[in-house]
Amino acid sequence: MTNYILALELLGMLVYIGAWLSALATTIMPQWLTMSTSLLPVESYELGLWETCVVQDVGGMECRAYDSLLGLSRNLKLARILMCTALAVGMLGIIVAIPGLHLIDSCNPTKRTFIVTAGVLGIISGVLCLIPVSYMAHLAVVHFFDDKVPDVVPRWEFGDALFCGWVAGFLLIVAGMLMASSSSSCSQVEAPPPQQHSYQVIGTNVTFKTRTEYV
């Protein structure tokens, strides 16, 4: 049982760290949405949380950061806030999980508290990561199939960052479940039975002699 708990915790930590790095890459990548036009087939446009880029077929790429935070749309502001919150919660979960690992400490209530907390934070981080990614994808689908927009108008499509964000969100949730499962398995480990000490009572025979006095 000890080896099973150890393997489960190590797997959860590896998935946790990999998912957090994927969420970080999703936040930084500018390929949240992509668009190519028939008028300029040699160029394509990419939209990210922090900058927009123009990509040319010859291999050139020019990116430009947003001028002002107040000039951003509500969608980008919400996506920024949620992704940064997901990264912060995920990092906090990794830090909390380290003292509770089986390699550092054995099964005890304090360790279980750390592991359960790390698992809950991982699940929350995954949900926070999936919300902005799915919302941006939903907006892209709605605008793509909008009948009011003429067919000649270019439309935004899914970028690589969205797929990376979906993977990161699901892996964060899986990592949180693995950590919680390792804690429940740890609670099932039975403590060794207390040693029973046998005591042998030795009887003592005391003989009292009565002294008879003659007068």
CATH number at residue 26: 1.20.140.150
Instruction: For residue 37, tell me if it sits in a domain.
Output: no
Q: What is the pLDDT at residue 133? A: 94
Buried b (16+ CB within 10 A) or exposed e, 160-190: ebbebbbbbbebbbbbbbbbbbbbebbeeee
Instruction: For residue 211, tell me if it sits in a domain.
Output: no
d(CA 122, CA 38): 43
Q: What is the pLDDT at residue 200? A: 53
Nearest alpha carbon to residue 162 among 178, 194, 192, 139: 139
d(CA 121, CA 43): 41
Instruction: For residue 20, tell me if it sits in a domain.
Output: yes
Q: What torsion do the CA atoms of 31, 131, 83, 52 make, to the nearest 10 degrees?
A: 30
Instruction: For residue 61, tell me if it sits in a domain.
Output: no
φ/ψ of 56, rounded to 5, equals -105, 150
Instruction: For residue 212, tell me if it sits in a domain.
Output: no
Q: What is the pLDDT at residue 155? A: 79
Which range marks the domain in which residue 114 is found? 2-31+73-187
Question: Nearest 5 degrees, angle CA 14-CA 19-CA 23?
Answer: 150
Instruction: For residue 26, tell me if it sits in a domain.
Output: yes
Instruction: For residue 157, tell me if it sits in a domain.
Output: yes
Per-residue tens of pLDDT for the chain, all 215 residues: 567 777 788 888 899 999 999 999 999 998 899 887 766 667 888 888 998 888 887 777 888 888 877 778 888 999 999 999 999 999 999 998 888 776 555 556 677 788 889 999 999 999 999 999 999 999 988 888 877 766 667 778 888 999 999 999 999 999 999 888 877 655 554 444 445 554 454 554 544 444 444 43
Q: What is the pLDDT at residue 67? A: 80
Q: What is the pLDDT at residue 170? A: 96
In the chain, the number of structural domains is: 1
Q: For the sheet containing 43-47, what is the strand order? A: 61-65, 51-56, 43-47, 33-36, 157-158
Instruction: For residue 152, tell me if it sits in a domain.
Output: yes
pTM of this prediction? 0.78
